[in-house]
Amino acid sequence: MKANERVAAVGVGYSKTGRRTGLGSWQLAIQACTAAMEDAGMTPADIDGVALLWGVAGPAPGGLDVIDPMDLGYTLGITPLNWYVAASPSPAYVGTAVQAIAAIRSGFAHTVLTVRIINQRTSSTEVIREAGERGPEVVTGDHGYTAPYGFDVGGLIPSIAALPAQRHMDVFGTTEEQFGAHVVTQRYHASLNEDALFREPITVDDYLAARYISKPVRLLDCDYPVDSASAVIYTAGDRAHDWRKEPVWVEAAAYSSTKYFDFDNIDLNQNSPFHAAKELWSRTDLKVDDVDCAQLYDGFTIIVFQWLEALGFCKLGEAGPFIEAGNTRLGGKIPTNTDGGACNVGRRHGANFCIETVRQLRGECGDRQVPNAEVGVWANAVGPFSGVVLMTAD
């Protein structure tokens, strides 16, 4: 079997995105895949692998609407498949991307369509009502140590966002105004992105006026749940120049798990992103100072802080002052989340950060373009599992 030394991203696309679109997982997936193939100038016959990730694809009206990669491949006309995977649990879109990159590098496939579908209820009121209708809930195993206290019920905000954020404040002196500076910065970037759902600039005072979800995490620290699908097509190096646009190269990638979700023997603010980042830099001759733009998963604000520190854009514990000084703003030292992040473009579970990196390195970003962007890094997920990819322009 012939291995492929290099892998490139050659097509990207989104579905229609919004709340209560009425679209199910299938419609969203087909829209995004079609858009990515159109972006690349590809037909299904050019593709031989499909990777997607189960998780929050569903429930659609009437029940779960989970898509198998084999079914998606067949339905799109990508048949037979040389390789496919539906990975869950894994660190969201980067899990799909890293596995697709690995499949191409190892020679199982030459061109892989990766898809992230999100189709979830947007209202915690609905979730609460349904839980109430179900009656007393029995939880098993490790969840028994948290759920009875109200950890991780109806979302992970208290445990994966608020606990590390509170500790970041107590240990490093990070302030709520510094969390706000990040939120304000990415909203400014969103104001320059026609596809963002929130585009009106805000101030730190606006941020501080937003209600808390779980202190110190405020509503504006949380990504925005939407119905969406995102697709990216990766291909082997010898095919990278066969398509409509310039390829964007995978320079290096890393994928990490330190353990599964719990609180033992792990520094909540120096978890798997630090391991993934260390591995990433060991797999390339490029250095952190070579990076022109960073797209760092913002499921919650604290995660961006952790990635800035993990990747070495600033020192441990110094993301707050680093952001407050304007370093992550367009025109700053390392423009970060130039599409506005998932808080503003809608929840994509990391795929928007890959797509924004590709578009920045192609020079397609218009008002929010980082001048002469040649190296971009994108990172996804948090805590005990994560992944990060370094990309370069052609």
Q: Closest Cα to residue 237, out of 52, 110, 87?
A: 110
In 222-298, at which residue ranges do the beta strands (DSSP E only) sit? 228-236, 248-257, 293-296
Q: Does the footprint of other proteins cover residue 194 (CB under 8 A)?
A: no
Output DSSP code: residue 271: S
Element (H, E) at 114: strand 111-118
Output DSSP code: residue 120: -
Q: Which is nearer to other proteins, 148 or 326 (CB)?
A: 148
* Among 61, 80, 135, 331, contact with other proteins (rule: CB under 8 A): 135
- 254: how many CB neighbours lie within 10 A of its CB? 24
Q: Does the footprint of other proteins cover residue 131 (CB under 8 A)?
A: yes
Q: How far is the CB of 165 from other proteins (least distance, A)?
A: 8
Q: How far is the CB of 219 from other proteins (least distance, A)?
A: 9
* Among 119, 159, 258, 295, contact with other proteins (rule: CB under 8 A): 159
Q: Which is nearer to other proteins, 95 or 216 (CB)?
A: 216
* Among 167, 199, 275, 333, contact with other proteins (rule: CB under 8 A): 167
Do residues 348 and 118 lie in contact, with contact meaning Cβ atoms separated by under 8 Å?
A: yes
Tokens read off for 25: 């997982």
Tell me which stretch binds other proteins (CB under 8 A): 68-76, 149-157, 175-183, 365-373: 149-157
Q: Does the footprint of other proteins cover residue 139 (CB under 8 A)?
A: yes
Q: Which is nearer to other proteins, 2 or 211 (CB)?
A: 211
Tell me which stretch binds other proteins (CB under 8 A): 225-233, 261-269, 290-298, 323-331: 261-269
Q: Does the footprint of other proteins cover residue 38 (CB under 8 A)?
A: no
Indicate the SS3 state at residue 387.
Answer: strand
* Among 27, 214, 337, 360, contact with other proteins (rule: CB under 8 A): 214
Tell me which stretch binds other proteins (CB under 8 A): 111-119, 122-130, 196-204, 312-320: 122-130
* Among 64, 71, 77, 128, contact with other proteins (rule: CB under 8 A): 128
Q: What are phi and psi of 121, to 5 degrees?
A: -60, 140
Output DSSP code: residue 146: T
Q: Closest Cα to residue 304, out of 329, 279, 278?
A: 329
Pairing of strands 293-296, 375-382: parallel
Element (H, E) at 388: strand 385-393
Given the rule CB under 8 A, which residues bind other proteins? 124-125, 127-133, 135-155, 157-159, 162-167, 170-171, 211-217, 262-265, 268
